[in-house]
């Protein structure tokens, strides 16, 4: 006969009318997924979008029976999960058109548990379980919650499951002592909705946990290059907690996304970065980040000693190399760029842009003073968010700790 442990309360459950899916697993590995409470909300500062999970109302989370394996004194419960959209509009992007230019995808996060509900005997020490296999961790209802992620956008609910359903299942595995026979856990879905169902969208790339932005971040960034000499290199350091762009010999390296951004829409992009170099490459504003809204480019460039708003132009002398240059008529702010600083660029629709350095406002420009698009960058022909580094006169390496941006709001 099984042993029922003392009643346990899940360590983290959201408050309010937030939809949560409860998973229950029995001794045979059978998985039952039921709604715990209903509604929808938006409570995630890092991984944004609507956070919800009213089972069989606005979403269906499904899983086959767990595969249970035993090694020594440990059990591993492996489950394959899927998600189907039950809403009348697509999820996983801020764009509603038939073919989005980019997606933020769908997250399925374990927000509480696993919690042991029954055992075959007494555990010594007391029974404890962990989430062992997942894609990453993020903030949904609390920091460092494990999740799995699908890159795709799911269409509005179809009569028969098809494009409204993820193309393949993702794996979540739990580990437990041998004595555990039954347990529960709690899931929540995170996915961007298009306007007017959602009005503010944000994305967070964190180098210490996400590795290289174009390799393991959720969602991924794409790489781009403007230099005729090709693309430089990217090196991630877990120990240093940074993603370094190592640029030499007039090469460059940019990372970008294409989430929709209109000129009248407020937005922000924030980055923590140090500009590292060994020669005169630091004298040019080649370390850059910003966005294009389809009409103008709001971008910040950093030299070894200054930061300011930039535009792109081809380097003279027939080199045909795109070069970031400070915008004329707008002042710069002095910084010691070899030390990491947090730069926050705020866009107030078509009125103005403001730069904060380490939390203090330092620069402002009128929207009309911004360049009309990059006009050079192959990755910025339409709305885009980007960061990166170029090199014309020498090494212009940079080390990025995080990059986050929001659309629909002018500050985090």
Confidence (pLDDT) at 395: 63
> Is pLDDT larger for residue 326 or for residue 266?
266
CATH of domain 201-407: 2.60.120.200
The residue that leads in pLDDT, 271 or 398, is: 271
Joined together, the tokens standing for residue 86 give: 């039950």
| Res 16: pLDDT | 34
pLDDT of res. 376: 52
pLDDT digits (tens, 9 = 90+) for 73-131: 999 999 999 999 998 999 999 888 888 888 999 999 999 999 999 999 988 888 899 99
Say yes or no to pLDDT of 208 above 80. yes
Domain ranges for the chain, please list them.
20-191, 201-407
């Amino acid at each position: 006969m099984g042993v029922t442990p003392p009643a346990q309360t899940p360590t983290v459950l959201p408050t309010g009318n937030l939809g949560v899916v409860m998973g229950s697993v029995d001794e045979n590995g059978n998985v039952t997924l039921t709604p715990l409470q209903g509604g929808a909300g938006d409570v995630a500062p890092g991984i944004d979008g609507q956070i919800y999970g009213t089972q069989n109302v606005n979403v269906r989370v499904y899983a086959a029976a767990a595969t249970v394996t035993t090694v020594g004194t440990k059990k591993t419960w492996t489950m394959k999960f899927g998600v189907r959209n039950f809403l009348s509009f697509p999820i996983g992007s801020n764009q509603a058109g038939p073919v989005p230019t980019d997606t933020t995808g769908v997250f399925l996060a374990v927000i509480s548990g696993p919690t042991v509900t029954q055992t075959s005997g007494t555990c010594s020490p007391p029974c404890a379980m962990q989430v062992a296999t997942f894609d990453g961790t993020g903030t949904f209802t609390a920091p460092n919650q494990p999740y799995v992620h699908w890159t795709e956008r799911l269409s509005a609910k179809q009569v028969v499951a098809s494009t409204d359903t993820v193309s393949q299942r993702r794996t979540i595995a739990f580990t437990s002592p041998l004595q555990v026979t039954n347990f529960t856990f709690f899931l929540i879905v995170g996915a961007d909705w298009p306007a007017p169902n959602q009005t503010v969208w944000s994305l967070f790339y964190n180098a210490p946990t996400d590795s290289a932005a174009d390799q393991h971040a959720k969602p991924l960034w794409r790489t781009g290059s403007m230099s005729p000499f090709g693309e430089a290199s990217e090196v991630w350091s877990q120990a240093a907690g940074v993603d370094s762009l190592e640029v030499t010999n007039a090469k460059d390296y940019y990372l970008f996304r294409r989430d929709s951004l209109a000129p009248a829409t407020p937005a922000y992009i924030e980055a923590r970065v140090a500009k590292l170099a060994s020669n005169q490459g630091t004298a040019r504003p080649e370390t850059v980040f910003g966005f294009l809204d389809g009409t103008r480019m709001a971008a910040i460039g950093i030299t070894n000693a200054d930061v300011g708003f930039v535009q792109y132009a081809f380097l003279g002398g027939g080199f045909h190399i795109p070069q970031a240059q400070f915008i004329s008529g707008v002042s710069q702010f002095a910084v010691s760029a070899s030390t990491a600083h947090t730069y926050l660029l705020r866009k107030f629709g078509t009125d103005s842009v403001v730069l904060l350095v380490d939390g203090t406002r330092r620069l402002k420009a009128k929207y009309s003073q911004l360049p009309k698009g990059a006009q050079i960058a192959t990755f910025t022909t339409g709305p885009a968010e980007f960061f990166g580094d170029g090199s014309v006169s020498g090494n212009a390496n940079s080390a990025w700790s995080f990059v986050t941006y929001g659309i629909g709001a002018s500050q985090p």
